[in-house]
Amino acid sequence: MEVHLDTDLGGDPDDACALVMLLGWPGVEIVGITTNLEADGRRAGCVQEVLRLAGRPDIPVVAGAGSSITTGRRFDPTWGDQRYWPDPVTPKPSPPGAAVDLLAGNAAAGATVVAIGAQTNLALLEVTRPGSLAGVRVVAMGGWLGEPGPGLPRWGPERDWNVQCDTRAAEVVAAAADLTLVTMPVSMRAHLRVRDLPRLRAAGAVGALLARQSEAYAHDSGRRGLAADHPGLPGDLVNFHWDPVTCAVAVGWPGVELSERVIAPRVEDGVLDFRDDPGGRPTGVTEGIDAAAFAETWLRCVEAVGRARAGGASH
């Protein structure tokens, strides 16, 4: 199965966790990676560093959109923060339009596009080349449909970062692509926990980096306090597996329950959410997840990358 990954890697380390999982997933070939919310190639450089540690520098990486098309805002990555990136990371800037070119070519060739950041690159593809997303399978981390389970944070669509940071882009993609939404109320049930960190650290250099970054992010984002306030979260919460779950849905992991719903986006007071709407479009929507099985599946994929790297396997 061919996958194109569009990511804002270089912030919440769940993007890096998702990328490494795809590298270790049997039968999956990553045919290209584009970055969004880019900062002069720093995010693309971070992607290249993860690939280097994983022994996969052969995968094409192109820096994409640098700002939200809705607001024009730019967002700094963790690049340069030694708590996240202990080794210097070289930025990897790209010419204007290069990310759209790579995305267009892979989408036209039938790759599934996995969107685990702002949907800006995909929207720019559709706006500049109308009809390009027609029939393209896009699996996106985002969407707030349903309610979190008991004991989980009572967040709402305003916390749906990938959508809210560029609402216009999300509207464009929802109107054009063959879309599946991996919603936050479902994916927040899958967790990286302190008990998982020893296995990560033992999974080679790339696993050690994921552990390091996840611990730093847990500190920065107050995960311990969040877990203490919500009994539905594990007490040793490190992070949510938002983006890894999205990638698992894209490659057909059977532990997620999916339905097809006819929905449409709506923006109110600057916040976009999705509503069931007979005038909308058929969209795949996650409804449930076997969270325990997913945590083990994810760890095994990361460990597979570590073993392949230790054994000298490369592509």
Domain interval for residue 160? 2-310
pLDDT category, 144, cuts 50, 70, 90? Answer: very high
Structural domain contains residue 149: yes
Structural domain contains residue 315: no
pTM: 0.97
Strand 237-240 vs strand 61-63: parallel, antiparallel, or unpaired? unpaired
The CA-atom distances, in angstroms, between 125 and each of 67, 110, 169 are 15, 15, 10
- The CATH number assigned to the domain holding 289 equals 3.90.245.10
Q: Give pLDDT, residue 314.
A: 46
Tokens in use for 95? 């010419």
Tokens in use for 271? 């916040």
**Percentage of the chain modeled with pLDDT above 90:** 97
Contact status, residue 20 vs residue 205, Cβ threshold 8 Å: no
pLDDT category, 315, cuts 50, 70, 90? Answer: very low
pLDDT tens-digit series, residues 62-71:
999 999 999 9
Residues near 118 by beta carbon (within 8 Å), at least 6 away in sequence: 8, 36, 37, 65, 68, 162, 165, 166, 169
pLDDT tens-digit series, residues 239-290:
999 999 999 999 999 999 999 999 999 999 999 999 999 999 999 999 999 9
Distance (Å, whole) CA 88 – CA 136: 37
pLDDT category, 311, cuts 50, 70, 90? Answer: confident
* DSSP one-letter code for 259: E
Count of structural domains, the chain: 1
On the question of pLDDT at 313 being above 70, the answer is no
The CA-atom distances, in angstroms, between 2 and each of 22, 108, 109, 313 are 11, 12, 9, 20
3-state secondary structure of 86: coil
Report which of 116, 18, 103 is spatially closest to residue 63, judged by C-alpha positions: 103
CA atoms within 13 A on the CB side of 214: 28
Distance (Å, whole) CA 4 – CA 164: 22
Instruction: Say which amino acid occupies 27.
Output: G
Average pLDDT of the chain is 96
3-state secondary structure of 225: helix
CA atoms within 13 A on the CB side of 162: 31
